[in-house]
Amino acid sequence: MTAISLSAIEKSFGTTPVLNGINLDIADGEFLTLVGPSGCGKSTLLRILAGLEAPSSGEVVIGGQTVNAVRPARRNLAMVFQSYALYPHLSVLQNMMTPLKLRDLSLAGRLPLLGPVLARAQYRAIVEQVRETAEILKIDHLLDRKPGQLSGGQRQRAALGRAMVRKPVAFLMDEPLSNLDAALRIHMRSELAELHRSLKTTFVYVTHDQAEALTMSDRMAVMMDGEILQLGAPHDVYNDPQDIRVAEFVGAPRINLLPGSLDNNGHARCGDIVLSRAATAGAVGSVSIGLRPEHLSLCEKGTPEALSGQVVHKENLGADIYLHVSVLNGSQRLVVRVAPHEGQGASFGQTVHIMREHGQALVFGKDRKRLDLKTAGTGNVAEVA
Amino acid sequence: MSDASLPATSTVSLPAFRFSAAETIKHVVLILGSLIVLLPFYVMLSYSFKSPAEIMQNTGGFFGTQELFRDDYCIKLGRDAADCMVTPFIYNYTTAFEKAPLVRYLFNGVVVTASIFFIQVLVALPCAYALAKLRFWGREAVFGLVLFCLLIPVHAIALPLYIMLAKLGLTNTYAALVIPWTISVFGIFLMRQFFMTVPDDLIDAARMDGMGEFSIIWNVMLPTAIPALLAFAIFSVVAHWNDYFWPRIVVTGDRSLFTPPLGLREFKGDADGDNFGPMMATATIIVAPLIVAFMIAQRRFIEGITLSGMK
Amino acid sequence: MQTTKAHWWFVGPALFLMVVILLMPIAIAGALSFTSYSLGNPGAEFVGLENYEKIFTRSTYEKMFGATFRYVFVVVPLSVGLGLGAALLINSTRRFGDLYKTIYFLPVMAALIAMAIVWEFAFHPTIGIVNSTLERGCGSVLEAWSWFARGCERGFPLWLTDRDYAIWTVAFIGVWQGFGFNMVLYLAGLTSVPRELYHAAEMDGAETAWDRFRLVTWPMLGPTTVFVVTISFIRSFQVFDTVEAFYPQGGGPSKSVYVMMFAIYEKAIQQNLMGIGSAITVVFLAFVMFLTLMQRWLVERRVHYT
């Protein structure tokens, strides 16, 4: 079931186009991530969905209703902001009460001092609701504090709490973890995912961090230059990128790209390397061959199709070691993931030989689109592949 | 649904016509306000262009008709009536300069404001540097004293200051006009806050290069403090060019020491009907330098004048 | 570094001047306020609390406090309110904001004494632009307003010389001169309000401008307001230029504009009564210092968020 659907959304600021006709359907209860480099329009798209920004054209539908003309608060969405946007003069309790007060209380009930007396029962219900939410988030002991007295992680929770109390149809999150330190960020990833599972509500999550997108989402939309390049499950986006920009953006360290060319039979070549699978379509000419670091390994000298080069840098991450190797006479650099025991011995300037795991190379045409490769029957190439 | 507190660029979709209606009302209110604010400036400029008759009868529009009129003072001097016909605009402005030593007043104003600013910087800058960057016994006490002195408006203690200067026989001197303002605790406070943000490394580097503390102040700290200093200069110059209270107290009678505000006040004192025009011309000349400078460097001025908001 | 005594050369002059120019006068004023000192007389007689007693009992000083407080309590709320209003309006319009800002700031830059003289012209009963403009409104719907109708019939008020109007007219000029300053401070305060808070308020359901103002703008301007109110108080307590320009002798019709700074000037400088002048100075200083300390306390306690 579709909870939210965005169709043909366009947006430009002045003459600068920011979004060029975005179509996106978000299923009910889904964790969808919008990921892309800064300036790709992901935040703008989220703000259009929230109603904080009006699209230049296109339609926003929530729960079957077009909401273009509906004010943000009436869309029944909740948003968690990058800076948390907690009201600094109000305690956590009051912060979390705010959306409920504005929604449920009449003007008289919102009066300072007098309000709590006039609408006693409603106030008690609101406080009760806030307490329940606070307990879920384990911030019930912080309710009397002001945001200024909280740590980054606690503020994060308070902001989440303010979003949760309304029981919205969807949570919108604009880079909510980017203000936290590295360790806490990783911890909060799993906590957010857990929260999503227990709430069973739609999450729309914006981030520039591909790792967050890969770890948390049900589906992720990779955005660039105001377009969605690819939408799919993290596994598919990583292993089956349809565009060279997606391949480059998703995955750390970045995918290795080697310049190559497509021969008449549709085989991509780069130096000695010839891919056995052939492109079914696509013009003959130059292509890029993408190889992920984990699909490369060290090998003995003389292995067919191996690339040789000098080690120029070594990144030791403990569990893995990434070797940066200068290949093809120093014109290209490859990053290779090796096991610690293999990488330990490698020294700078040492010549190493690299081979690839067959069937994993990704080939992209000049139009940046992925070329479909099929295992072709032309025997003479099959033997080397 | 007016949008008073939302920043203008945030676009919440609202029907366009409502928005423009709200926008129109805002502009009407703001324009009415502007008219009231500008009224005295209009009066001042307009009267400085008009002949006495036009001022009395309230005719002639903004610029006056600039018809020639007879200058009675000139007739009194026994000149021929034909020679005494003058254009109001020229008459007003020349009289402003001739009848009172306006040039002298302006000169005094420049001398006084300039020396005040110069001495303030000379005193405040080293002190601010020491408070911000040097560690010495009693530093906290000195800074505490600075914070306390921030509470004292100099105008409020004008009377005892006057008594002190009178005892020293300094009333009716330039010194009297300048001395009470030589210490600007606000300047010290401001510069100290600014210097706190200058990295210690910069000073250590200068010391490594063999600079003494004095040359660090004038060769390293002063150049980095230029923006703050400029703002402070504007703050100081505006305050003292426009100051009326203090000169009124310490300068009595001696016209050669009058600052522009005092000169204008004196002019008013012996103004008769004919002199409204020249008086407004004088007012215009006194107000003009700061207003023109403000128009040219608006942002800097607003920054400087509102400096005190940084506390 | 450890051997240098340079810091005393740096701090010394400032320290000396602070003591001589700022602290000593307070002590002198305090001491003289218990005497009947006057310049030129060799000795001063100790009179105890007599000067203070006069200040708090005599009708002249009752008028002084009356005029000062009337002035202050008109000018402070109005100049703060108008400053805030102008800042909010300017901040929310899309065009000409800078122009309005420039215009409203002009009075802050202009020498008050010069502008006071101009205002005196504008308020002149016969040739002044204010009354002649008002007269033009006679015969129109404005006459439905009884005050206006009376003005048309018997002439509009003598703004500066009528006892019932004088202090309010002077206060009006105070507001005219001061609100632009407050506006600029408020504009600076508004730019530092995080945008995201408005968006959060919008998401939370603050749909009207008033709701957003209550929830975000006003609380976020708290520190600015404390500062603006204090500085407005201190500035309006010190009003002198306009009063002296309009009423060089005596402080206005029936002493209705006899503000404190003018009283100090008149008693001490014009009449050479240094004792009483010092006593007023001390009372005045007490007011100003109390206000500033109050501000610092407020800034540190209530409106300090982060």
Count A/C contacts: CB-CB distance under 8 Å.
Answer: 68
**All chains having 3 or more CB pairs closer than 8 angstroms to chain B:** A, C
Any CB–CB contact under 8 A between B276 and chain C?
Answer: yes
Query: Which chains lie within 8 Å of chain C at 3 or more CB pairs, if any?
Result: A, B
Predicted model pTM:
0.84
* pLDDT > 70 in chain A, percent: 96
Asked if pLDDT for residue A383 goes beyond 70, the answer is no
Nearest of A334, A382, A371 to residue A355 by alpha carbon = A334
pLDDT at A379: 43
Test C200 with A72 for CB contact under 8 angstroms.
no
Contact A21, A8 (CB under 8 A): yes
The answer to whether residue C65 neighbours chain B at the CB level (below 8 Å) is no
pLDDT at res. A377: 52
Report residue C306's pLDDT band, with 50, 70 and 90 as the boundaries: very low
CB atoms within 10 A of CB C95: 10
Q: What percent of chain B has pLDDT over 90?
A: 7
pLDDT at position B5 is 38
Q: Categorize the per-residue pLDDT at B273 as very low, low, confident or very high, splitting at 50, 70 and 90.
A: low
pLDDT of residue C267: 85
Question: In the structure, what pLDDT confidence band is assigned to residue B70 with cuts at 50, 70 and 90?
Answer: confident
Among B270-274, C127-131, C290-294, C296-300, name the most confident range: C290-294
Host H or E run for residue A21: strand A16-27
Query: What is the pLDDT confidence band of residue B272, given thresholds at 50, 70 and 90?
Result: low
Token code pair at residue B119? 């001495």
With CB atoms and an 8 Å threshold, state whether B12 touches A52. yes
pLDDT tens-digit profile of A271-302? 777 888 877 766 678 888 899 999 988 888 88
**Contact assignment for A52 to B10 by CB distance below 8 Å:** yes
Say if CB B310 and CB B288 are below 8 A apart.
Answer: no
Look at A71 and B11 and tell me if their CB atoms are within 8 Å: no
Is B109's pLDDT higher than 60? yes
**Six token digits for residue B224:** 């980095």
Q: In the predicted model, is pLDDT for residue C1 greater than 60?
A: no
Residue A172: strand, helix, or coil = strand
Which is more confidently placed, C302 or C112? C112
Residues making up chain C, counted from first to last: 306
Average pLDDT, chain A: 86
Q: What is the pLDDT of residue B8?
A: 38
> What pLDDT is stored for residue B198 in this prediction?
83
Q: Is the pLDDT of residue A316 over 80?
A: yes
What pLDDT, on the 0 to 100 scale, is given for residue C134?
82
- The DSSP bridge pattern shows strands A170-174 and A256-262 to be unpaired
Query: Which has the closest alpha carbon to C197: C225, C227, C218, C226?
Result: C218
**CA–CA separation, A78 and C199 (whole Å):** 11
Q: What is the CA radius of gyration of chain C?
A: 24
Confidence at residue A282, expressed as pLDDT on a 0 to 100 scale = 62
* Residue B61 forms contact with C (CB below 8 Å): no
Beta-strand (E) ranges in A28-90?
31-35, 57-62, 65-66, 77-80
pLDDT digit string, tens, across residues C112-140: 888 888 888 888 887 778 888 888 877 77
Instruction: Kindly list the distances between the CA atom of residue A378 and the CA atoms of A3, A286, A383, in Å, as whole numbers in the listed order.
Output: 49, 21, 9
Residue-level pLDDT at B3: 37
C-alpha–C-alpha distance, residues A87 and A152, integer Å:
15
Give yes or no for residue B76 having a pLDDT over 80.
no
Find tokens 């077009």 and name the residue: A66
Q: How far apart are CA A85 and CA C204, in angstroms?
A: 11
Would the pLDDT of B311 be above 70?
no
- Reported as a single tens digit per residue, the pLDDT across A340-352 is 888 887 888 888 8
CA distances from B24 to A156, A227, C180, C273 (A): 41, 38, 22, 57
What's the CA angle centered on B66, arms B64 and B69, to 5 degrees?
Answer: 115
Whether B161 and chain C come into contact, CB under 8 Å, resolves to: yes
pLDDT averaged over chain B?
Answer: 80
Mean pLDDT of C230-259: 85
What pLDDT does B119 receive? Answer: 92
Residue-wise pLDDT tens digits, C79-98 = 999 999 999 999 888 788 88
Structural tokens at position A298: 């060290």
Residue of C nearest to B129 (CA): C10
Using a CB-CB distance cutoff of 8 angstroms, which residues of chain C are in contact with residue B276? 121
Mean pLDDT across B229-248: 87
Tokens 């040039």 label which residue? B103
CA dist A34 and A173 (Å) reads 10
pLDDT above 90 (res C156): no
User: Do A50 and C306 make contact, defined as CB atoms within 8 angstroms?
Assistant: no
Is the pLDDT reported for residue A84 higher than 90? no
Please state, in angstroms and rounded to a whole number, the distance separating the CA atoms of residues B33 and B123.
Answer: 42
pLDDT in tens, C260-294: 888 888 888 888 888 888 899 999 989 888 888 88
Give the Cα separation of A315 and A324 in Å (integer).
8
pLDDT-derived band at A207 (thresholds 50, 70, 90) equals very high
Segment among A86-95, A185-194, A261-270 with least mean pLDDT: A261-270
- Does residue B219 surpass a pLDDT of 60? yes
SS3 C133: helix
Beta carbons of B44 and C118 less than 8 Å apart = yes
Is the CB of residue B179 less than 8 Å away from at least one CB of chain C?
A: yes
Q: What is the pLDDT of residue C305?
A: 52
Chain B contact present for C31, CB below 8 A:
no
Note whether A291 and A334 are within 8 A (CB): yes
pLDDT of B309: 53
The pLDDT value recorded for residue B171 is 83
Residue C88 CA, chain-centre distance (Å), reads: 22
Residue B190 near residue B228, CB atoms below 8 Å: yes
The DSSP bridge pattern shows strands A285-291 and A273-279 to be: unpaired
- The pLDDT of residue B94 is 82
CB-CB neighbors (< 8 A) of B12 in chain A: 51-52, 54, 71-72
